[in-house]
Structure 1
Amino acid sequence: MTNLGNLPVAVIGGGPVGLAAAAHLVSRGIPVKLYEAGAQVGANLRDWGHVRVFTPWRYCVDAAARRLLESHGWRMPEAGAFPTGGEIVDKYVAPLAALPELAPSIETNARVMAVSRWGADKVLSKGREHKPFMLLIETAGGRRRDSARAVIDASGTWQTPNPLGAGGIPAEGEAEFGSRIAYGIPDVLGRDRHHYAGRTTIVAGSGHSAANALLELAELAEAEPGTSAIWLTRGTDLVRIYGGGDLDELPARGELGSDARDLVESGRVQLVTGFATTAIREVDGRLVVEGLTADGMRTVGLGDRIIAATGQRPDLSMTRELRLDLDPWLEGVKALGPLIDPNEHSCGDVPPHGHRELSHPEPGFYTVGIKSYGRAPTFLLLTGYEQVRSVAAAIAGDVASADAVHLALPETGACTTTRSISSISEASKGCCGGPAPKEVDACCIADAEAKAGGKSGCGCGVAA
């Protein structure tokens, strides 16, 4: 029987959270092997590298990673500045991956196709916890099998976008017109400008990605006559994207929502809410979108291109032979599901959680980062960094540190919930220390008095 202690911990994904996991493990003297499917670390971030994030640098850097970097003379960028995705890679992720403590353990162009146990599919129970993990790795040179004592899945969800079809499967015509559909956040003002200048773009989605795309299209319209946008949302309440404005503890996030609202109210963007896309068709060379509304079937268009900013979903194919405990509809870790369910919550508040919530019935396997949230859209890097700190401590056997989880997320300033307070973890504490009501229609917002008294704010009916 292989001595599991002699094997490395496998980390899947070379983004900020995966590299933070590696930094925490290395700092504890635990051997690591990190697999990145892209040609370089931070490949997913580079896809939206033109976008400026709403979290300043102080929220974008992991503590263990920072200590390693600073031991080699690295200087933290201005803490209050707002980086782009590309700047996060160039000024933080790439330098971190190049450190001598991490570089030998990182393999790029290495896609993890499957994870299992040596000699055991998911049906076998006896002794499976003593069998090493087996990872099927695909590289330019072919496929091979590696072993690991534990696996941290930080592969994210960026490469598996949700389809445009509101039913969760591609809309009729989505594949046919795929060359005219961009998923995520295309670089409207840069490399993709020629696709959108002087044309009408249909933007589907009600999150921050949609807002970014709409704002760039509006800016392009000022320089390129004939440029316009139509905004489609499945929901009718846009409080999550419009946000709390000046009450948002991340001002750039609040500004993003306010600017999106201004686009609609000024008439620069045509907004259609309550629209569930079912089909895409072509009329005289232009695209129209068909969908269900409260009043029946409706057609929206005419557009030249479509931006599907409809979010992402986790790729579960690689873990099919593992025993995972997932939320049945979000497909993230089960323990987080009730607290981040967008059917119930429109905010990003989530209580502290660590290795216990991120583990599965498969001993030694952890889902972290945005993949731990499944299809929910409210993840922040701060959450991922605390997740991997706890997981690394648990793998090292430092249970006290692993259980001492601390997470204080910036308030959104506007969020709602329809979930009964009694069903939420720590709910008996109520909001901001007050009594727990039966139903909460809006999150309470930490005010100056609470902060002056040394209390942190709370949201979504859960005491912070």
Structure 2
Amino acid sequence: MSEPTPELPVVVIGAGPVGLAAAARLLERGLTPLVLEAGPTAGTSVRAWGHVRLFSRWDEVIDPAAEKLLAGAGRQRPDGNAYPSGADWAEHYLQPLAEALGDRVRFSTRVTGVSRAGRDRVVDAGREDQPFTVHVRTADGTEQRLEARAVIDASGTWSTPGPLGGDGLPAPGERAAADRISHRIPDLTDPAVRARYAGKRVAVAGSGASAFTALAQLADLAREAPGTRAVWILRRGIDADTFGGGEADQLPARGALGLRARAAVEDGHAEAVTGFRTAAVEPAGDHLVLTGEDGRRLEPVDEVIALTGLRPDLSFLSELRLALDERLQAPVGLAPLIDPNVHSCGTVYPHGARELAHPEQDVYLVGMKSYGRAPTFLAMTGYEQVRSVAAALAGDDEAAARVELTLPETGVCGGSGVFDEPEAEEEAGGGCCAPLTVGSGGSAPAGGC
């Protein structure tokens, strides 16, 4: 670690749960944070899915250092056993926390680039002796260059959802049909949104907690609006682990969410299409037809909800020397622990500065951003990350290496979470419209907390 430069702040990118927790941890360590948030408020991304209820209790989504800061500001703690919505989380925790941090948080300030002063990524000479330069653009278009002693990127992945296309790129016709394809869990309490899906045939693509939430909500809508039906599109087959840990999940609300999705299928409100990877989106009058890589054409649908994961925006970090896994775009020290090609466990053991380190010293990707394209991130994981990173930046290597968190388990831990072999799909129930066989076993917004 390079010598600290006390007069310069540690720049934290993003005023979401993990970014604000990082600021609280830095203050606790006697370091000066400067949080830069592209949106106009704390938790801008969280507010975008404010209608979704977390599957973690308040006790599990409040960082301990942030809680101390809030207590010092006279803020009362919410009931630890209650389950907040995204809106609750933002209003009763994130916004007060940003207010407690005061002018250490700047809103409507978008980071457009990070580098070393006078050094692009090619230059070795004197690199570690130079402060970081953080280029920003404010809401009125003003451009500034700030200096920092370290950079913690907690900007998340919300702004870059994965496409519907099965090869990682938008399928032909996907962009043209953008007005009929949503990448977010719909807010069915909004009359306009409700009207968009009521009585419609809706394709839901994805296999994580966000997809479970959409399926459960559409099943509820179907009970009130006849004709509403979901077509659940999975790139995998269906097996005992598809719906999560159920009653074995140590986060009960997460297990219950999977059971609600399972009930939506078993009750006939959703039909499952397995082993389907979208190759094209074609207009068919007032409907859309999805074509698979294997040539299958699904029955026309009115709307598509593509909940196919999120991915990090690395464009503004291009002048830094980062060590990222070639598949997940996560730090190489972390990637083996979270790789869905290897396992589909819902948790990973707590980790910190060591696993998050890069060749560029004093740069850390934390929170959802650290997971790259991997799913199933928990807020508690991010809080432990920034506790360790703050300790490392303060020179307390012992505390940085210490584990201070025990994570809950899902109750399931299966094989590949990305691409099943054909024979595995056949064992799991097969392809389009095959009879659904669900075993006895049991990822955003709902899956990220």
Q: Tell me the TM-score normalized by structure 2.
A: 0.90
How many residue pairs get matched?
415
Of the three residues 397, 400, 418, the one matched with 1:399 is 397
Deviations 1:95-125 (A, max 9, x none): 11111xx111111111111111111011111
Matching residue of 1:90: 91
Matching residue of 1:310: 308
Instruction: Check whether the contact 1:208–1:241 (CA below 8 A) recurs between aligned residues.
Output: no
- Structure-1 separation of matches of 2:285 and 2:402: 62
Q: Report which stretch shifted further, 14-23 or 264-273.
A: 264-273
Q: RMSD of the alignment, in Å?
A: 1.8
Matching residue of 1:174: 174
Instruction: Give aligned-pair identity as a percent.
Output: 51
Matching residue of 1:273: 274
Matching residue of 2:29: 28
- Structure-2 separation of matches of 1:237 and 1:128: 51
Instruction: Check whether the contact 1:240–1:347 (CA below 8 A) recurs between aligned residues.
Output: no
SS at the partner of 1:298? coil
Matching residue of 2:202: 201
SS at the partner of 1:334? coil
- Structure-1 separation of matches of 2:74 and 2:378: 27
Instruction: Check whether the contact 1:26–1:32 (CA below 8 A) recurs between aligned residues.
Output: yes
Q: Report which stretch shifted further, 159-168 or 225-234.
A: 225-234
- Taking the TM superposition and a 5 Å limit, the aligned residue runs for 1:379-458 are 379-417=377-415
- Structure-1 separation of matches of 2:163 and 2:367: 22
Matching residue of 2:434: none
Instruction: Check whether the contact 1:278–1:290 (CA below 8 A) recurs between aligned residues.
Output: yes
Distance change >3 Å, CA 381–CA 240, structure 1 → 2: farther
Q: CA deviation at 1:77?
A: 1.3
Please state if 1:320 is matched with 2:321.
Answer: no
The aligned amino acid for 1:207 is G
Matching residue of 1:58: 59
Q: CA deviation at 1:418?
A: 6.5
Instruction: Check whether the contact 2:133–2:145 (CA below 8 A) recurs between aligned residues.
Output: yes
SS at the partner of 2:6? helix
- Structure-1 separation of matches of 2:222 and 2:87: 25
Query: After TM superposition, which residue ranges in structure 1, 4 or more long, deviate above 6 angstroms?
Result: none
Q: CA deviation at 1:128?
A: 0.6
Q: CA deviation at 1:3?
A: 8.1
- Structure-2 separation of matches of 1:218 and 1:325: 43
Matching residue of 1:143: 143
- Structure-2 separation of matches of 1:403 and 1:285: 57
Deviations 1:280-337 (A, max 9, x none): 1111210111112xxx311113111110100100001011110000111000111111
- Structure-1 separation of matches of 2:139 and 2:409: 45
- Taking the TM superposition and a 5 Å limit, the aligned residue runs for 1:187-198 are 187-190=187-190, 192-198=193-199
- Structure-1 separation of matches of 2:242 and 2:415: 15
Unaligned runs of 5+ in 2: 418-441, 443-449
Instruction: Check whether the contact 1:189–1:220 (CA below 8 A) recurs between aligned residues.
Output: no
Q: CA deviation at 1:349?
A: 2.5
- Structure-2 separation of matches of 1:359 and 1:204: 34
SS at the partner of 2:364? strand
- Structure-2 separation of matches of 1:35 and 1:321: 19
- Structure-2 separation of matches of 1:390 and 1:154: 14
Unaligned runs of 5+ in 1: 420-444, 446-464
Instruction: Check whether the contact 1:330–1:341 (CA below 8 A) recurs between aligned residues.
Output: yes
- Structure-2 separation of matches of 1:25 and 1:241: 39
Q: CA deviation at 1:359?
A: 1.4
The aligned amino acid for 2:365 is T
Matching residue of 1:108: 107
Deviations 1:375-404 (A, max 9, x none): 011110000001001101111112221111
Instruction: Check whether the contact 2:21–2:66 (CA below 8 A) recurs between aligned residues.
Output: yes
Matching residue of 1:164: 164
Deviations 1:234-292 (A, max 9, x none): 11145554112111111111111111111112221011010000111111210111112
Q: Tell me the TM-score normalized by structure 1.
A: 0.87
Deviations 1:344-387 (A, max 9, x none): 11112212211111110001100100111110111100000010
Matching residue of 2:339: 341
SS at the partner of 2:298? strand
- Structure-1 separation of matches of 2:169 and 2:246: 34
